[in-house]
């Protein structure tokens, strides 16, 4: 282990071995995504032929057209954006309000209620799926987007996340000074809490957006590939034999569902990583 250098702690400079191992990790992280592109650019026969192709082929646009026509990928893309956007917005808003109350406002039962919020995180989503399914069938909401939006409008994780952030980031004097001036708490939230919380709100929004974009279990039950699917549901339809299985087309669907998020990551990845490593998600 001497190759790492002799200095202690975070001061040590990375040696060549560190770069080799990290390069390897980066390769493993990126290769499946690269190969997704490769597979989406070949014919269905070529993809399941040995040896597997390593370089992109000429069929990407044909496959894109084909996937687009087989399941309505355009509609799925719009649906997913709407669902993920609404879920992220409302989760961030409600989490910030509740997080602020739990972090900085004294009230009776605060600790018990906070413990309750944390405890709800352990409940598996499977437990609520069965009655939820019954509710949306009764309301005629199968294949309607509100059936996947409404159950996700709040998240215990988000409340806890914002509370942890505001606990440290928001000086209690700021809140009390505003209170002394007789400001209503809504004004305090608008003029004091939101500006301070903005970085954490952005990170939480991104995390929730990614989660909602990729959510599978409940949308898979509430929506159908041929009705009004999100991308993940449409993708499951492509992959599970409701249609003729052409693996290249299936992977083209996977590509369509992944690329928008990867673009977001290319632009905002730095901030997301910064948000996670600044310790906001830690515990």
Please report how close the Cβ of residue 58 comes to another protein at its closest, in angstroms: 19
Report H helices in 223-246: 231-239
Nearer to another protein, 97 or 202 (CB): 97
250 binds another protein (CB under 8 A): yes
Please report how close the Cβ of residue 70 comes to another protein at its closest, in angstroms: 15
Nearer to another protein, 61 or 216 (CB): 216
116-145: which residues touch another protein (CB under 8 A)?
117, 120-134, 137
Find out whether 39 and 54 touch, Cβ atoms under 8 Å.
Answer: no
Find out whether 147 and 129 touch, Cβ atoms under 8 Å.
Answer: no
Find out whether 158 and 92 touch, Cβ atoms under 8 Å.
Answer: yes
Q: Is 175 helix (H, G, I), strand (E, B) or coil?
A: helix
Please report how close the Cβ of residue 34 comes to another protein at its closest, in angstroms: 10
Q: How far apart are CA 112 and CA 121, in angstroms?
A: 15
Please report how close the Cβ of residue 110 comes to another protein at its closest, in angstroms: 8
Rg (CA), the chain: 23
User: CA neighbours within 13 Å on the CB side: how many for 280?
Assistant: 27
Please report how close the Cβ of residue 174 comes to another protein at its closest, in angstroms: 10
74-93: which residues touch another protein (CB under 8 A)?
none
Binds another protein (CB under 8 A): choice among 47, 73, 203, 223 = 47
Find out whether 251 and 36 touch, Cβ atoms under 8 Å.
Answer: yes
Binds another protein (CB under 8 A): choice among 64, 70, 76, 100 = 100
Please report how close the Cβ of residue 89 comes to another protein at its closest, in angstroms: 13
Interacting span for another protein (CB under 8 A) from 23-31, 61-69, 81-89, 165-173? 23-31
Asked if residue 51 has a cis previous peptide bond (ω within 30° of 0), the answer is yes
Task: Please return the burial class of 134, using the count of CB atoms within 10 Å of its CB with bins 0-12, 13-18 and 19+.
Answer: exposed
Q: What mask of x and - would describe binding to another protein in positions 166 to 205, judged by CB under 8 A?
A: ------------xx-xxxxxxx-x-x--------------
């Amino acid at each position: 282990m001497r190759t790492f250098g002799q200095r202690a702690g975070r001061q040590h400079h990375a040696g060549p071995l560190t770069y080799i191992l990290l390069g390897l990790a980066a390769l493993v992280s990126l290769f499946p995504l690269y190969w997704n592109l490769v597979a989406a650019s070949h014919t269905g026969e070529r993809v399941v032929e040995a040896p597997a192709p390593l370089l992109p082929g000429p069929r990407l646009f044909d496959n894109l057209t084909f996937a687009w026509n087989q399941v309505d990928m355009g509609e799925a893309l719009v649906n997913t954006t709407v669902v993920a956007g609404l879920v992220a917005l409302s989760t961030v808003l409600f989490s910030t309000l509740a997080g602020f109350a739990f972090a900085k406002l004294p009230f009776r039962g605060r600790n018990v209620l906070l413990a309750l919020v944390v405890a709800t995180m352990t409940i598996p989503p499977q437990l609520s799926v069965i009655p939820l399914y019954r509710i949306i069938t009764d309301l005629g909401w199968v294949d309607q987007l509100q059936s996947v939006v409404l159950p996700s409008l709040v998240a215990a994780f988000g409340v806890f996340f914002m509370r942890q952030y505001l606990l440290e980031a928001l000086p209690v004097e700021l809140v009390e000074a505003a209170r002394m001036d007789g400001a209503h708490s809504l004004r305090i939230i608008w003029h004091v809490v939101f500006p301070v919380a903005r970085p954490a709100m952005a990170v939480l929004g991104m995390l929730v957006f990614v989660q909602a974009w990729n959510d599978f279990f409940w949308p898979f039950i509430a929506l159908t590939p041929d009705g009004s699917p999100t991308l993940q549901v449409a993708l499951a339809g492509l992959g599970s034999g409701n249609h003729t299985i052409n693996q290249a087309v299936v992977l083209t669907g996977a590509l369509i569902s992944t690329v928008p998020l990867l673009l977001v990551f290319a632009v905002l990845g730095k901030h997301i990583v910064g948000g996670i490593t600044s310790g906001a998600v830690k515990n």
